[in-house]
Amino acid sequence: MAAAQGLPSWEPTARIVLGLLGLVLSVYALHVELSRERDPDYRAMCDLGESVSCSKVFTSRWGRGFGLVQLFVAKDSVLNQPNSVLGVLFYTLQMGLGLSLSKKAALALVICSWVSVAGSLYLASILAFVLGDFCMVCVSTYVINFALLYTNLKRQKAIEGMKEKTG
């Protein structure tokens, strides 16, 4: 792939690793949430104590639609999806769009990453100041989202540079 020579050599591997880690964490979060809904006594591997409980976070009001969607639609609306479903979509999009070398795809990746980082900051503040909990799965996805933003900014800069050289 000669056109990809301008991309940092680490970028494709980093994108796949970050995307897969995010995808695995999102699927696990969904599993925990659904298991807890079926069985209130379900104890997830990430539930280490009273204030270190991912299942408490996932099943909180903020575990669906960032706690915001239910302000506009019914709590059980199809539009009020678990954040983990949004994560599955986001990480799939990151890996899929990462296959394209177009400027539009690079811009979409950066915009989606900025939105995910804003969401991460919002949810981290809810985690710390409202729920008073530490969720290892959540914090791990926040780190992944920041790393994807960095990766996407580097990618966008490289693609802009490649297009200028060939254009």
| The predicted structure's pLDDT at residue 1 | 38
Residue 56 covered by a domain: yes
In this structure, how many other beta carbons lie within 10 angstroms of the beta carbon of residue 103?
13
Mean pLDDT computed over 16-29: 98
154: enclosing H helix or E strand: helix 136-166
Q: What is the pLDDT of residues 102-154, one digit of tens each?
A: 999 999 999 999 999 999 999 999 999 999 999 999 999 999 999 999 999 99
The residue among 161, 117, 120, 138 whose CA lies nearest residue 59 is: 138
DSSP structure class, residue 30: H
Mean pLDDT computed over 29-51: 93
Report whether pLDDT(166) > 60. Answer: no
Residue 46 covered by a domain: yes
| The predicted structure's pLDDT at residue 156 | 95
| The predicted structure's pLDDT at residue 123 | 97
Domain housing 129? 10-165
Grade residue 2 by pLDDT with cuts at 50, 70 and 90.
very low
Grade residue 5 by pLDDT with cuts at 50, 70 and 90.
low
Report whether pLDDT(167) > 70. Answer: no
Q: Indicate which CATH number applies to the domain containing 132.
A: 1.20.1440.130
* Tokens (6 digits) for 38: 């079926």
Grade residue 162 by pLDDT with cuts at 50, 70 and 90.
confident
Q: What is the pLDDT of residues 42-89, one digit of tens each?
A: 999 999 998 899 999 999 999 999 999 999 999 889 999 999 999 999
Report whether pLDDT(3) > 70. Answer: no
Residue 123 covered by a domain: yes
What's the Cα-to-Cα distance from 133 to each of 49, 50, 54, rounded to whole Å?
10, 8, 8
Residue 45 covered by a domain: yes
Residue 71 covered by a domain: yes
Report whether pLDDT(9) > 70. Answer: yes
Number of domains forming the structure of the chain:
1
Cα atoms in the Cβ-side hemisphere of radius 13 Å centred on 14? 17
With the C-alpha atoms ordered 155, 157, 158, 162, is the resulting torsion angle positive or negative?
positive
Phi-psi sector, 132: left (phi>0), alpha (psi -120 to 50), beta: left
